[in-house]
């Protein structure tokens, strides 16, 4: 069968992701789909996957994607007539120490928040469910009854048949050799079997996705890693329905297969494959490496002593694609308008495959992700991720932590420092403890003399709790200086600039030059795609500031809207940023600035050019901490001079991002990707005041919001204060109203001024969240399984004097 000359959609890759995507494109969207596979279906990494299917993740949306996979695998054989090998055996996760057990208690709370069933059970119950196991060192285990296992090849073939049933066409033995581009669009795919024109390309090429992406000018940051497991001969006493087993403290996993065990693990010293192009590798494996695998065997035998006598039927040593942060990759990169990527599944492609194909098909057909997929969005990466050696090192670190305890606030260490502001050495001399965001080194906190200047892992109060409290108090009582030079910064210019921003921004940016607008960018559903500030410097010149980690993502929202009449430029490295915040901020600023910074001359929500230490500074009067303050945007080379001039003034101290988080929690300021996401509208987030529905200006999402205006929302953003000062809130804690779950926290921490743990989240009610519903309830939070009384508030927890804050 020869290739057609044209297809609506070309899917590259015939593994589980490509076949699932083709199935959903054909079934749900009636799309004309052609799938190209360089070898045979499943011949890349799908065929040798272990086939464990878990569902719970820290993101509600990604958990929903994985739950969809399970629901699909349960019924797919009835639709296609091909078995998938699906077995809902449930999954046990073992804990051998108190920190792991506390992690599971938190995960059980998260599962409840997401509507999943998860139980914490005793070692005796584990022994009853898995008699061959040695449970002598166990504290307990978590039990997820709806997890299971499947046959990767069988699922893929079943999905492929389902896709064919709905009209998709598959071509095996066809290798993609190039892409014909017109500007930033693919117009044809060139292959060993000829050329095929197309409208959209889905890059589901597995470990070859990086090479295929490069043909379109995009970076798909993957690193193939050698992953090994063994398949044993039959083991007496092993039940056919034995739960899958994860033993993270011993870094191993098990599943039953034909009376024996599949056993593998995630070692702290993983072995990378190539950093260059991946060669053809159809149904191939590496040589057995028992020397490297011995570390897993030792731990596995200690857990399941019967393994010591079991024969090994086969060792599987094959490459799997891993990513620098352990999350898979979906979506469309900025560099190419019509290539969508689904790759980098970190050895849980089988668990993700059904759901990933569903959302990727929706994304490609509508141009929008159907739910909040930020955790896996390809736009979470940047040009930094084009560095293959850096990607390799960071990916190996992530692989090595696959089964580590998920310590709160833990930072990656590899490939650092990479990007630094000109203040890096000065801040280090002040004993800054740095974190990293999209490659930028940023001060998280400052260690006083006598305190070790590094994070110590903790599931409770961290070692930086006291120093951050002191920085917090410095900002509340005097003034603090934050180096936020890593902020992403863009400039939009031209006669069409305002019209473009009118369409993109939910708030009204049509203010006179010298004004700042806080705004969201929305999707067609009214969900919040970005949260940023727009400063109008001149009639046709706008300066946009957004979060460090959202640089590529938010730039893409503007680049996608490009038309004649305006230009977009990323100026992040051109401008450093110092945030001067606190009640004494004006006194300090007036002492170093040549211009008048009084409230009359420089009101809140305005931007002015100030002269400080010989530098022309863009000063934005705004706050994210609830105090009088300015963001001072300084030409990057002049940043040290401005910093030094400010720090010479009495009453000013350095502060880091963890103090910033505590301060913003007290004021109830939202954080995008946590409190506000594409799943949430401004009305639900109680940000309706920042929406220009009262005018006639058209903007993306207007119709969806207009339909909601004035109606009770089914969920509403609120805050909670917990009286127990020792409670540790991290987010995902379940909200109880009169003992019934009504939502979960989206963020949490400690408010040092109010002296209490604080959290924020959405309270839900299908009939609408009215004021009466909110005020008549009794509220509690489930924190690591404990039920703690909580006080709900729709107002900031810290707001002693608005006049002081804005004066």
- pLDDT of 804 reads 40
Lowest model confidence (mean pLDDT) among 1-15, 53-67, 380-394: 53-67
What is the enclosing helix (H) or strand (E) of 168? none
Q: Is residue 394 part of a domain?
A: no
Element (H, E) at 104: helix 98-113
pLDDT in tens, 627-672: 999 999 999 999 999 999 999 999 999 999 999 999 999 999 999 9
pLDDT surpasses 70 at 806:
no
Rg (CA), the chain: 27
Q: Has residue 512 been placed in a domain?
A: no
**Overall average pLDDT of the 605-613 stretch:** 98
What pLDDT score was predicted for residue 290?
A: 94
Q: What is the CATH number of the domain that holds 689?
A: 2.40.30.110
Least confident of 49-58, 313-322, 417-426: 49-58
Q: Which two tokens stand for residue 104?
A: 């599971």
Residues 231 and 108 in one domain: yes
**Which of these three, 292, 313, 334, is where a domain ends?**
313
Q: Contact at 8 Å (CB) between 201 and 12?
A: yes
In a domain, 491, yes or no: no
Boundary of a domain, candidates 347, 362, 380: 380
Say how far apart CA 582 and CA 625 lie, in whole Å: 8
Same domain, 252 and 216: no
111 in a structural domain:
yes
Domain hosting 164: range is 6-84+150-221+325-380
Say yes or no to pLDDT of 805 above 50. no
**Do residue 104 and residue 179 come from a single domain?**
no
Tell me if 788 is assigned to some domain.
yes
Q: In the structure, what pLDDT confidence band is assigned to residue 800 with cuts at 50, 70 and 90?
A: low
Query: Could you tell me if 309 and 198 lie in one domain?
Result: no
State the pLDDT confidence band at 801, using cuts at 50, 70 and 90: low
Using 50, 70 and 90 to split pLDDT, how confident is the model at 533? very high
Averaged pLDDT, 312-324: 95
Which of 313, 336, 357 lies at the terminal end of a domain, its last residue? Answer: 313
Give percent of the chain above pLDDT 90: 95
734 and 685 in one domain? Answer: yes
**pLDDT (tens digit, 9 = 90+) per residue, 193-210?**
999 999 999 999 999 999
Q: Are residues 695 and 789 in the same domain?
A: yes
- Do 134 and 239 lie in one domain? The reply is yes
CA angle 385–387–389, rounded 5-degree value: 115
Tens of pLDDT along 416-454?
999 999 999 999 999 999 999 999 999 999 999 999 999
Q: Which residues pair with 792 in a beta bridge?
A: 720
Residue 182 located in a structural domain = yes
Please provide the average confidence, as pLDDT, over all residues in the chain: 96
Count of domains in the chain? 3
Rounded CA-CA distance 780/720 in Å is 9
pLDDT tens, 717-752?
A: 999 999 999 999 999 999 999 999 999 999 999 999
198 and 341 assigned to the same domain: yes
Residues 135 and 238 in one domain: yes
Same domain membership, residue 80 and residue 170: yes
Label residue 308 by pLDDT band (50, 70, 90). very high
Cα separation, 718 vs 338, whole angstroms: 39
Q: Which residues contact 189 (CB under 8 A, 6 or more apart)?
A: 10, 12, 36, 176, 178, 179, 180, 195, 196, 198, 201
Same domain, 126 and 209: no
The CATH number of whichever domain residue 247 belongs to comes to 3.30.9.10
- Reported pTM: 0.96
Same domain, 64 and 190: yes
Residue 802 scores a pLDDT above 80: no
Angstrom distance (rounded) from CA 800 to CA 807: 13
Residue 597 placed within a domain:
no
- Tell whether the model's pLDDT for residue 784 goes beyond 80: yes
CB count within 10 Å of CB 276 equals 9
Q: CA 347 to CA 398: how far, in whole Å?
A: 12
426 part of a folded domain: no
CA distance 746 to 730: 8
| pLDDT higher than threshold 70 for residue 506 | yes
């Amino acid at each position: 069968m020869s290739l057609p000359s044209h297809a609506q959609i070309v899917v590259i890759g015939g593994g589980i992701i490509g076949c699932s995507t083709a199935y959903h494109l054909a079934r749900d969207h009636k799309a004309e789909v052609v799938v190209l596979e360089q070898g045979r279906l499943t011949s890349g990494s799908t065929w040798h996957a272990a086939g464990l299917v878990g569902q719970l993740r820290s993101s509600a949306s990604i958990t929903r994607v994985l739950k969809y996979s399970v629901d699909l695998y349960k019924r797919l054989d009835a639709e296609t007539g091909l078995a998938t090998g699906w077995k809902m055996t449930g999954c046990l996760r073992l804990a051998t120490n108190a920190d792991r057990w506390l992690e599971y208690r938190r995960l059980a709370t998260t599962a409840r928040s997401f509507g999943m069933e998860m139980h914490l059970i005793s070692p005796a119950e584990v022994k009853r469910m898995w008699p061959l196991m040695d449970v002598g060192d166990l504290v307990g285990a978590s039990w997820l009854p709806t997890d299971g296992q499947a046959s990767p090849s069988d699922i893929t073939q079943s999905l492929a048949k389902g896709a064919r049933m709905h009209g998709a066409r598959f071509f095996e033995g066809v290798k993609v050799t190039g892409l014909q581009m017109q500007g930033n669009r693919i117009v044809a795919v060139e292959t060993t079997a000829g050329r095929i024109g197309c409208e959209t390309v889905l890059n589901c090429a597995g470990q070859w996705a990086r090479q295929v992406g490069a043909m379109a000018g995009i970076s798909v940051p993957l690193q193939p890693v050698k992953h090994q497991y063994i398949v044993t001969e039959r083991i007496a006493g092993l039940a056919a329905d034995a739960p899958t087993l994860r033993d993270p403290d011993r870094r191993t996993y098990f599943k039953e297969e034909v009376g024996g065990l599949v056993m593998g693990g995630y070692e702290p010293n993983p072995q990378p494959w190539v950093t260059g192009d991946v060669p053809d590798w159809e149904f191939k494996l590496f040589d057995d490496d028992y020397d490297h695998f011995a570390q897993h065997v030792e731990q596995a035998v200690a857990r399941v002593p019967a393994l010591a006598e079991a024969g090994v039927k086969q060792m599987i040593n094959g490459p799997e694609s891993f990513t620098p942060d352990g999350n898979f990759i979906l979506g469309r990169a900025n560099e190419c308008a019509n290539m969508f990527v689904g790759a980098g599944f970190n050895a849980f492609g089988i668990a993700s495959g059904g759901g990933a194909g569903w959302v990727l098909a929706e994304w490609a057909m509508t141009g929008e992700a159907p739910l909040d997929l930020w955790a896996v969005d390809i736009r979470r990466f940047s040009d930094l991720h084009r560095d293959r050696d850096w990607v390799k090192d960071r990916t190996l670190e992530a692989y090595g932590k696959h089964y580590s305890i998920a310590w709160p606030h833990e930072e990656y260490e590899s490939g650092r420092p990479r990007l630094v502001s000109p203040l890096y050495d000065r801040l280090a001399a002040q004993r800054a403890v740095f974190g990293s965001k999209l490659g930028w080194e940023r001060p998280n906190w400052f260690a006083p003399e006598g305190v070790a200047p590094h994070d110590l892992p903790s599931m409770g109060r961290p070692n930086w709790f006291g120093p951050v409290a002191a920085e917090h108090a410095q900002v509340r009582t005097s003034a603090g200086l934050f180096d936020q030079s890593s902020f992403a910064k863009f400039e939009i210019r031209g006669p069409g600039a305002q019209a473009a921003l009118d369409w993109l921004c939910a708030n009204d940016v049509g203010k006179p030059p010298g004004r700042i607008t806080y705004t969201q960018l929305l999707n067609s559903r009214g969900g919040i795609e970005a949260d940023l500030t727009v400063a109008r410097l001149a009639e046709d010149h706008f300066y946009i500031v957004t979060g460090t980690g959202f640089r590529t993502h938010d730039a893409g929202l503007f680049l996608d809207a490009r038309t004649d009449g305006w230009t977009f430029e990323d100026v992040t490295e051109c401008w450093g940023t110092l945030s001067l915040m606190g009640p004494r901020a004006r006194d300090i600023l007036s002492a170093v600035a040549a211009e008048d910074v009084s409230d009359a001359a420089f009101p809140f929500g305005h931007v002015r050019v100030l002269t400080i230490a010989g530098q022309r500074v863009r000063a934005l009067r705004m706050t994210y901490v609830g105090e009088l303050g300015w963001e001072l945007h300084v030409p990057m080379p002049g940043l040290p001079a401005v910093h030094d001039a400010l720090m010479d003034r009495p009453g000013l101290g350095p502060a880091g991002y963890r103090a910033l988080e505590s301060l913003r929690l007290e004021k109830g300021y939202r954080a995008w990707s946590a409190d506000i996401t594409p799943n949430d509208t401004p009305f639900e987030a109680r940000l309706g005041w920042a929406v220009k529905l009262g005018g006639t200006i058209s903007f993306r999402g207007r119709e969806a919001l207009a339909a909601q205006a004035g109606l009770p929302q089914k969920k509403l953003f609120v805050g909670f204060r917990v009286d127990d000062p020792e409670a540790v809130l991290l987010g995902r804690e379940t909200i109880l109203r009169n003992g019934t779950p009504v939502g979960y926290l989206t963020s949490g921490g400690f408010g040092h001024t109010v002296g209490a743990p604080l959290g924020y989240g959405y309270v839900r009610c299908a009939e609408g969240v009215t004021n009466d519903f909110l005020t008549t309830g009794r509220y509690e939070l489930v924190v690591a399984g404990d039920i703690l009384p909580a006080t709900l508030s729709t107002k900031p927890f810290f707001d002693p004097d608005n006049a002081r804050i804005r004066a």
